[in-house]
Structures are given as structure tokens and as C-alpha cells.
Amino acid sequence: MTNRRNIVITGASSGLGEGMARQFAAMGRNLALCARRTERIEELARELRKQHSGITVVTHELDVNEHDRVFEVFDGFRAELGSLDRVIVNAGIGKGKPIGTGYFAANKQTVETNLVAALAQAEAAMGIFREQRAGHLVVVSSFSALRGLPRNVTAYAASKAGSAALADGIRADVRGTPITVTTLLPGYIESEMTARSGRNPMLAKADTGARALVRAIERERAKAYVPTWPWAPLSLVMRYAPDSIIGRFV
């Protein structure tokens, strides 16, 4: 395990991003937080600075779909903190409807945010890491990346499969270097996104999910299902069960 001191988290204003920020702050890490909702990340930053006086927390407004701005913000964070040790590509959305039912705009927005914007974040982070000759890139994909899924999840699952493949490819490209790449595949964790999905008996509490994510990130393994139980064993079911069974759980 490497002590990554300066950590960037995108989509940090709520949900998994906010939860990870709180966990890392408690561990004494410096944070660079960005999101579209500036007032929320600034409020979070003030709270974390007050609770953990020894850390630095910097913030920037960022819509990850503004790709040039992604590079500007990451470079700004590096200038403010001196270096970037870890970048967590977390920003994402879960909009979507069945393909061909008149909701192309929503499906397109999901793919652009979860995949194209993830590419922009990875490009910006990896440019810095290659120059530093060190760093840890973390891509928050999803358990749904394991296969194509029906109904409202089709575009979302496709976008997350793309982001997982992106991370896997970058990892292969930098194998044998001081740059590490982790692909996270979270299951259902309490957040604004999952709140819209209704009751789910497999839903992990937000704090439980955030702790599990941070543990997985700190281990710096190539790939991790989060939380490990039940999602690691369920990955086999997800990969090989027939569509008729998988469709019941989406």
C-alpha cells in the first residue's frame, strides 16, 4: 500500500465522491475536490478543514463534459498541491431509457458523461502522472459493466463497460512503470443515483460503501468489486446467467 498524499476526486459534491472525500480526510490526506455544484463542494471543504486541521482541501467548479476545463482544473490542482498522487475518476450520471423509445438525448448524455468525460479525465491525469513518473489512476466503473443490460440501464451499462475497458487498457499500457491503475466495480451503494431506483435489499449504506471503496483504492489492486460481498461472487452469475434471469434484477 502506498501513502498517496494528494488526491483528486471528481463528482465530489455528493454520493460516492463525498463519501470517499470524508474517508480520505479522516486519514489525513490532502484533497482536490471538483463538481458542478460549487456551493456543495465548498461547504464540504470547509467542514473537512474544520474537522481535520492538518489537511489541505482545495476546490474547483467542474463540469466534466467541458473537456478543456478538465485539463485546466487538474493542472490547477497540481499547481496548488505541488503534485498529484491519485486521481479518482468518479463523476457520472445514471439517466437512461430503453433504446429506441424516444430518449436519445438522455442516453447520449449518460454515455458522454460516463465514458467520453472519463476519457478526458484519464487523459488529464495520465499526462500529469507520465510527467511525474508516478501516480495512481482510479476509475469508478460499475458492476453493470460486466454485461449488456436491458431497459433503462442499457446505455448506462454500456458507458460503464467502456470506462472499465479504458482503465484496463491504460493499466496494460503502463505495466511495469510506477503508475498504477485501478478499476472499481461498485454494486448498489446508497447515493442520489440509487435513491431514484426504489427499494433494493442489496443496497449498501453510504458509509459502508465509502469505506469499502477507500479500502479497495488503498490496496491499489488492478480490479475490485465493491463491497466484496456479495458483488465478487455475484460477478460469476452476472457474466454467465441467461438474459431472462438477469432481466429480473434490473
Q: Across the chain, where does the E strand assignment appear?
A: 6-10, 30-35, 57-61, 86-89, 135-140, 179-186, 223-226
- The span from the CA of 155 to the CA of 150, in Å, is 9
What's the burial of 103, exposed, middle or buried (CB within 10 Å: 0-12/13-18/19+)? Answer: middle
Residue identified by cell 467542474 is 62
Q: Is 186 helix (H, G, I), strand (E, B) or coil?
A: strand
Is residue 141 a contact partner of residue 160, using CB atoms and an 8 Å limit? yes
At residue 56's C-alpha, the angle toward residues 52 and 57, to 5°, is 95
Give the contacts of 181 (CB within 8 A, at least 6 positions apart): 136, 137, 138, 139, 167, 168, 170, 171, 174, 222
User: Residue 102 is placed in which grid cell?
Assistant: 424516444
* H-only helix segments in 29-116: 38-51, 67-81, 104-111
Of 103, 156, 188, 225, the catalytic one is 156
- Catalytic, 225? Answer no
Active site residues: 156
